[in-house]
Structure 1
Amino acid sequence: MTDALELDALWEDFRRAVNMTSQELAAWLRVGDAGEDTEPLPGHAGTGTGQHVLAILQKRRTDLTEDDLRVMRKVVDTVDEQTENEPEPEATDADTRRRHRLMTLGHDPLRA
Protein backbone atom coordinates (compact mmCIF):
# COMPACT_ATOMS: atom_id res chain seq x y z
CA MET A 1 0.00 0.00 0.00
CA THR A 2 1.17 3.52 -0.75
CA ASP A 3 1.37 6.03 2.10
CA ALA A 4 -0.07 9.54 1.83
CA LEU A 5 3.25 11.24 1.01
CA GLU A 6 4.06 8.73 -1.74
CA LEU A 7 0.54 9.08 -3.13
CA ASP A 8 0.82 12.89 -3.17
CA ALA A 9 4.18 12.72 -4.98
CA LEU A 10 2.89 10.16 -7.50
CA TRP A 11 -0.27 12.20 -8.11
CA GLU A 12 1.81 15.33 -8.81
CA ASP A 13 4.24 13.43 -11.06
CA PHE A 14 1.33 11.86 -12.97
CA ARG A 15 -0.43 15.21 -13.44
CA ARG A 16 2.87 16.69 -14.72
CA ALA A 17 3.46 13.78 -17.12
CA VAL A 18 -0.14 13.65 -18.36
CA ASN A 19 -0.58 17.13 -19.79
CA MET A 20 -3.68 16.40 -21.87
CA THR A 21 -7.21 16.71 -20.51
CA SER A 22 -9.46 13.67 -20.37
CA GLN A 23 -11.45 15.09 -23.30
CA GLU A 24 -8.31 15.60 -25.39
CA LEU A 25 -7.03 12.12 -24.57
CA ALA A 26 -10.40 10.49 -25.37
CA ALA A 27 -10.51 12.30 -28.72
CA TRP A 28 -6.90 11.32 -29.49
CA LEU A 29 -7.54 7.66 -28.67
CA ARG A 30 -10.54 7.65 -31.03
CA VAL A 31 -8.54 9.31 -33.81
CA GLY A 32 -5.57 7.01 -33.30
CA ASP A 33 -7.76 3.90 -33.62
CA ALA A 34 -9.95 5.11 -36.47
CA GLY A 35 -9.43 3.05 -39.57
CA GLU A 36 -10.24 3.68 -43.16
CA ASP A 37 -13.52 1.77 -42.91
CA THR A 38 -14.28 1.58 -39.19
CA GLU A 39 -14.02 3.45 -35.96
CA PRO A 40 -14.11 1.72 -32.57
CA LEU A 41 -16.76 2.39 -29.97
CA PRO A 42 -15.78 5.46 -27.91
CA GLY A 43 -15.11 3.45 -24.75
CA HIS A 44 -12.92 0.95 -26.60
CA ALA A 45 -10.59 3.19 -28.59
CA GLY A 46 -6.87 3.23 -27.95
CA THR A 47 -4.51 1.00 -26.04
CA GLY A 48 -5.36 -0.60 -22.73
CA THR A 49 -2.93 1.73 -20.99
CA GLY A 50 -4.40 4.76 -22.74
CA GLN A 51 -7.89 3.74 -21.62
CA HIS A 52 -6.61 3.23 -18.06
CA VAL A 53 -5.00 6.69 -18.05
CA LEU A 54 -8.31 8.12 -19.23
CA ALA A 55 -10.12 6.34 -16.38
CA ILE A 56 -7.57 7.65 -13.85
CA LEU A 57 -8.06 11.22 -15.08
CA GLN A 58 -11.76 10.87 -14.31
CA LYS A 59 -11.18 9.68 -10.73
CA ARG A 60 -10.58 11.42 -7.46
CA ARG A 61 -7.30 10.71 -5.74
CA THR A 62 -9.11 8.91 -2.93
CA ASP A 63 -10.69 6.46 -5.42
CA LEU A 64 -7.42 5.19 -6.91
CA THR A 65 -6.75 1.44 -6.81
CA GLU A 66 -3.40 -0.34 -6.57
CA ASP A 67 -3.74 -1.11 -10.30
CA ASP A 68 -4.24 2.61 -10.97
CA LEU A 69 -1.09 3.40 -9.00
CA ARG A 70 0.87 0.80 -10.98
CA VAL A 71 -0.27 2.37 -14.28
CA MET A 72 0.48 5.88 -12.99
CA ARG A 73 4.05 4.85 -12.11
CA LYS A 74 4.47 3.20 -15.52
CA VAL A 75 3.22 6.33 -17.34
CA VAL A 76 5.45 8.68 -15.32
CA ASP A 77 8.50 6.45 -15.93
CA THR A 78 7.76 6.13 -19.66
CA VAL A 79 7.17 9.85 -20.19
CA ASP A 80 10.27 10.78 -18.17
CA GLU A 81 12.38 8.28 -20.10
CA GLN A 82 11.05 9.42 -23.49
CA THR A 83 11.40 13.14 -22.79
CA GLU A 84 14.72 13.13 -20.90
CA ASN A 85 17.20 15.51 -22.54
CA GLU A 86 14.56 16.21 -25.15
CA PRO A 87 15.68 18.50 -27.97
CA GLU A 88 13.28 20.97 -29.52
CA PRO A 89 10.67 18.97 -31.45
CA GLU A 90 11.16 18.83 -35.18
CA ALA A 91 8.74 17.90 -37.92
CA THR A 92 10.25 14.51 -38.80
CA ASP A 93 8.51 11.17 -39.15
CA ALA A 94 10.40 9.76 -36.14
CA ASP A 95 9.39 12.74 -33.99
CA THR A 96 5.79 12.42 -35.17
CA ARG A 97 5.68 8.71 -34.28
CA ARG A 98 7.28 9.41 -30.88
CA ARG A 99 4.80 12.21 -30.22
CA HIS A 100 1.86 9.99 -31.15
CA ARG A 101 3.11 7.18 -28.87
CA LEU A 102 3.38 9.62 -25.95
CA MET A 103 -0.04 11.07 -26.72
CA THR A 104 -1.60 7.62 -26.24
CA LEU A 105 -0.44 8.00 -22.62
CA GLY A 106 -1.85 11.52 -22.32
CA HIS A 107 1.43 13.42 -22.84
CA ASP A 108 1.78 15.85 -25.72
CA PRO A 109 5.50 16.75 -25.96
CA LEU A 110 4.69 19.91 -27.95
CA ARG A 111 2.98 21.36 -24.88
CA ALA A 112 4.96 23.35 -22.37
Structure 2
Amino acid sequence: MTTTAQNTPDDSYTTFRKDVNMTAAELEKWLKTEESKSVGQDSGNGSSVGHQSGEKIVRILRKKKADLTAADQEHMHKVHSYISRHAAQGPEHKKDVETSRWRYSLMNWGHDPLKK
Protein backbone atom coordinates (compact mmCIF):
# COMPACT_ATOMS: atom_id res chain seq x y z
CA MET A 1 0.00 0.00 0.00
CA THR A 2 1.39 3.35 -0.98
CA THR A 3 1.40 5.88 1.81
CA THR A 4 1.26 9.64 1.67
CA ALA A 5 1.35 12.31 4.33
CA GLN A 6 -2.43 12.00 4.55
CA ASN A 7 -2.60 8.19 4.42
CA THR A 8 0.00 6.52 6.61
CA PRO A 9 -0.30 2.99 7.99
CA ASP A 10 -0.98 4.57 11.41
CA ASP A 11 -3.85 6.59 9.92
CA SER A 12 -5.27 3.49 8.23
CA TYR A 13 -5.08 1.55 11.48
CA THR A 14 -6.76 4.34 13.46
CA THR A 15 -9.54 4.66 10.87
CA PHE A 16 -10.00 0.88 10.76
CA ARG A 17 -10.32 0.69 14.55
CA LYS A 18 -12.94 3.48 14.52
CA ASP A 19 -14.93 1.83 11.73
CA VAL A 20 -14.77 -1.70 13.15
CA ASN A 21 -16.68 -1.35 16.40
CA MET A 22 -17.08 -5.07 17.07
CA THR A 23 -14.45 -7.06 18.95
CA ALA A 24 -12.83 -10.10 17.36
CA ALA A 25 -14.93 -12.34 19.64
CA GLU A 26 -18.19 -10.52 18.81
CA LEU A 27 -17.50 -10.67 15.08
CA GLU A 28 -16.45 -14.31 15.18
CA LYS A 29 -19.66 -15.22 17.05
CA TRP A 30 -21.75 -13.15 14.60
CA LEU A 31 -20.18 -14.83 11.56
CA LYS A 32 -21.46 -18.21 12.81
CA THR A 33 -25.11 -17.08 12.72
CA GLU A 34 -27.62 -17.78 9.97
CA GLU A 35 -28.33 -14.03 9.78
CA SER A 36 -24.70 -13.39 8.89
CA LYS A 37 -24.71 -16.08 6.24
CA SER A 38 -27.99 -14.82 4.76
CA VAL A 39 -26.64 -11.54 3.34
CA GLY A 40 -24.06 -10.35 0.89
CA GLN A 41 -22.81 -10.92 -2.60
CA ASP A 42 -21.78 -14.52 -3.30
CA SER A 43 -18.02 -14.82 -3.65
CA GLY A 44 -18.34 -17.92 -5.80
CA ASN A 45 -17.22 -20.40 -3.15
CA GLY A 46 -20.33 -20.68 -1.00
CA SER A 47 -19.86 -17.68 1.28
CA SER A 48 -20.39 -13.97 0.71
CA VAL A 49 -17.69 -11.41 0.06
CA GLY A 50 -18.62 -9.71 3.34
CA HIS A 51 -18.46 -12.96 5.29
CA GLN A 52 -14.96 -13.63 3.96
CA SER A 53 -14.02 -10.05 4.82
CA GLY A 54 -15.27 -10.59 8.36
CA GLU A 55 -12.99 -13.61 8.74
CA LYS A 56 -10.02 -11.48 7.62
CA ILE A 57 -11.07 -8.72 10.03
CA VAL A 58 -11.08 -11.19 12.94
CA ARG A 59 -7.49 -12.16 12.06
CA ILE A 60 -6.44 -8.52 11.78
CA LEU A 61 -8.06 -7.63 15.13
CA ARG A 62 -6.13 -10.43 16.80
CA LYS A 63 -2.77 -9.22 15.48
CA LYS A 64 -0.47 -6.75 17.11
CA LYS A 65 -0.30 -3.51 15.16
CA ALA A 66 3.41 -4.09 14.49
CA ASP A 67 2.63 -7.45 12.88
CA LEU A 68 0.24 -6.11 10.25
CA THR A 69 1.23 -6.90 6.67
CA ALA A 70 0.76 -4.90 3.50
CA ALA A 71 -2.17 -7.21 2.67
CA ASP A 72 -3.70 -6.40 6.07
CA GLN A 73 -3.27 -2.68 5.39
CA GLU A 74 -4.94 -3.10 2.01
CA HIS A 75 -7.86 -4.97 3.55
CA MET A 76 -8.23 -2.35 6.29
CA HIS A 77 -8.59 0.29 3.56
CA LYS A 78 -11.17 -1.88 1.75
CA VAL A 79 -13.11 -2.24 5.03
CA HIS A 80 -13.11 1.53 5.54
CA SER A 81 -14.35 2.12 1.98
CA TYR A 82 -17.14 -0.43 2.32
CA ILE A 83 -18.34 0.74 5.74
CA SER A 84 -18.27 4.40 4.67
CA ARG A 85 -20.31 3.69 1.54
CA HIS A 86 -22.74 1.19 3.01
CA ALA A 87 -23.40 3.06 6.28
CA ALA A 88 -24.61 6.04 4.24
CA GLN A 89 -27.28 3.88 2.59
CA GLY A 90 -29.35 3.08 5.70
CA PRO A 91 -32.89 1.69 5.53
CA GLU A 92 -35.81 4.04 4.94
CA HIS A 93 -37.48 3.27 8.25
CA LYS A 94 -35.34 3.46 11.37
CA LYS A 95 -37.59 0.96 13.15
CA ASP A 96 -36.43 -1.70 10.68
CA VAL A 97 -32.71 -1.33 11.38
CA GLU A 98 -32.25 -4.06 13.99
CA THR A 99 -33.17 -6.96 11.71
CA SER A 100 -32.29 -5.34 8.39
CA ARG A 101 -30.11 -6.89 5.73
CA TRP A 102 -28.31 -3.51 5.74
CA ARG A 103 -27.26 -3.95 9.38
CA TYR A 104 -26.39 -7.62 8.89
CA SER A 105 -24.17 -6.76 5.95
CA LEU A 106 -22.36 -4.04 7.91
CA MET A 107 -21.88 -6.44 10.80
CA ASN A 108 -20.18 -8.92 8.45
CA TRP A 109 -17.65 -6.13 7.89
CA GLY A 110 -17.22 -5.60 11.65
CA HIS A 111 -19.48 -2.58 12.11
CA ASP A 112 -22.70 -2.74 14.10
CA PRO A 113 -24.60 0.51 13.48
CA LEU A 114 -26.62 -0.03 16.70
CA LYS A 115 -23.57 -0.40 18.91
CA LYS A 116 -22.77 2.64 21.01
Say whether the fold is shared (TM-score over 0.5).
yes
Identity %: 37
Shift of 1:33: 4.0
Distance 2:24 2:32 in 1: 12
Structure 1, gaps ≥5 residues long = 35-45
Name the residue aligned to 1:28. Answer: 30
Whole-Å separation in 1 of the counterparts to 2:112 and 2:15: 15
1:99 matched to 2:106: no
**Partners of 2:27 and 2:58 within 8 A in 1:** yes
Matched, 1:64 2:68: yes
The residue identity in structure 2 corresponding to 1:76 is H
How many residue pairs were aligned?
101
Matching of residues 8-87 of structure 1 within 5 Å:
8-31=10-33, 32-33=36-37, 47-84=51-88
> 1:75, 1:105 within 8 Å by CA — same for their partners in 2?
yes
Q: For the aligned residues, what is the CA RMSD?
A: 3.0
Q: Which runs of 5+ in 2 are unaligned?
A: 39-49
* Deviation string, structure 1 residues 70-93 (Cα, Å, up to 9, x no partner): 110000011111223858972327
Output one character per residue of 1:35-77: Cα deviation in whole Å (capped at 9) or x when no partner: xxxxxxxxxxx82211100000000111011111111000001
Change (3 A) 1:76 1:89: farther
What is the identity, as a one-letter code, of the residue corresponding to 1:20? M
**TM-score, with structure 1 as normaliser:** 0.75
* SS of equivalent residue, structure 2 residue 100: helix
* Misfit runs of 4+, over 4 Å: 1-5, 85-89
